[in-house]
Every structure is written in structure tokens, then in C-alpha cells.
Amino acid sequence: MTKHPAEVLLGPVITERSLEQTAQGKYTFYIAPDANKHDVKRAVEERFQVNVVKVNIVKLPRKPKRVGRYRYWTKERKKAIVTLAEGQTIPDILEAV
């Protein structure tokens, strides 16, 4: 069953490293935990009208955190690094999703 692009792409990853990679045509998004490379490629192509060349997926494990005496775990997350075709960009990635 295919998913709507809004269900696959949860939001852009806004870090110094991910913003530097946009100059190389690589964009990073948080994605749904059950999404695969085909879902991500289709969602990015439909949402931004660009050609996706490559999709890499990284699973981020949960981490222990602490605030004072209280301990908790962060959520497990999944992110995708999407490489676009030469010369294509996603304008204003901060407001993209």
C-alpha cells in the first residue's frame, strides 16, 4: 500500500552538516519508521517535483537522557539522505515540509 508523501516525510533535519550538504545536492529528512527507500524516493519526487538519484537511510538508536534526577530515553528515529539529479535543488529547505 502506498503512503501519502506527508506520512513518509516528517520534516527536514536542520543541522550544520545537513545544510552544508545541500550545496552537493543532498537533502536530509526525518522519515516514518516503517518507510523504505522506494517510499522516500516517491514522496520527495511528488512533493518537490525533482529527480531523485539516490536514497540512503540511517536508523538512529534511542539515547538515555537526564534532567536533574529524572532519566528518560529519546525516541528511535529514522532519517533519509536524498541525492538529487545534477543541477536540481529544493528551494528553502527550512520551510519545505
In the chain the domains, ranked by start, together with CATH numbers, are: 5-87 (3.30.70.330)
**pLDDT tens-place values along the chain, 97 residues long:** 578 888 899 999 999 999 999 999 999 999 999 999 999 999 999 999 999 999 999 999 999 999 999 999 999 999 999 999 999 998 876 665 5
CA 34, 39, 45, 47: dihedral to nearest 10 degrees? -40
Rg (CA), the chain: 15
Residue that is written with C-alpha cell 514522496 in the block: 43
What is the pTM (predicted TM-score) of this model? 0.85
